[in-house]
């Protein structure tokens, strides 16, 4: 299957998150904990949920995969322990949007890394790729989910 990749210049992105070790699909309880830690007034600074996958699931055993369950937040969001701040600088990103259930993501990542990227002529920026969930996974039907995979590129 081929996908469409869009190269976009994005502004800086600030994330707040909690670390997770284990299979990427098992990160849901970490998101639930993250939600429970954010005080009500701070939700005005919260944008989309996101996940940073630090490891390649094709080369790292599932139980050792490192990730962060996150929310994109505004500059007014106050970070407090155990929350961690992660920043991505402004710059060029390869963006692949997936419409459908999350179980489509592993194949999209494989295609992006093994097919699109080698043929693209692009160079990595040395930052982990991350995914942004554009709608609430509890509201739409699984076929209506929208996820952006963002791969940082050198300018």
The owner of tokens 């990103």 is 93
Tally of structural domains, the chain:
1
Per the structure, the complete domain to which residue 77 belongs is given by 5-152
pLDDT at position 140: 62
pLDDT score of 115: 93
For 53-102, the pLDDT digits (tens) are 999 998 999 999 999 999 999 999 999 999 999 999 999 999 999 998 88
What's the CATH code of the domain at 20? 3.20.80.10
Q: How many residues does the chain have?
A: 155
Q: Which residues contact 90 (CB under 8 A, 6 or more apart)?
A: 9, 10, 11, 12
Predicted confidence (pLDDT) per residue in 129-154, tens digit: 999 999 876 676 767 899 999 999 99
Residue 155 contacts by C-beta under 8 Å, 6 or more apart in sequence?
Answer: 91, 92, 125
Render pLDDT for 63-76 as a digit per residue (tens, 0 to 9): 999 999 999 999 99
**155 pLDDT higher than 70:** yes
**Cβ-defined contacts of 107-111 (< 8 Å, 24+):** 107/1, 108/3, 108/149, 109/149, 110/58, 111/1, 111/2, 111/3
pTM attached to this predicted model? 0.92
């Amino acid at each position: 299957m081929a996908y469409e990749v869009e190269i976009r210049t994005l502004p800086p992105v600030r994330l707040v998150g909690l670390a997770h070790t284990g299979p990427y699909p098992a990160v849901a309880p970490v998101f639930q904990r993250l939600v429970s830690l954010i005080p009500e007034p701070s939700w005005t600074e919260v944008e989309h949920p996101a996940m940073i996958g630090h490891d390649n699931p094709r080369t790292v055993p599932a139980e050792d995969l490192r990730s962060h369950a996150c929310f994109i937040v505004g500059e007014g969001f106050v970070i407090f322990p155990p929350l961690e701040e992660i920043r991505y600088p402004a710059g060029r990103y390869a963006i692949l949007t997936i419409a459908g259930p999350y179980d489509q993501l592993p194949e999209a990542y494989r295609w992006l890394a093994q097919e699109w990227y080698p043929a693209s002529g692009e160079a990595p920026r040395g930052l982990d790729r991350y995914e942004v969930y554009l709608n609430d996974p509890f509201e739409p039907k699984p076929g209506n989910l929208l996820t952006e995979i963002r791969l940082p590129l050198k300018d």
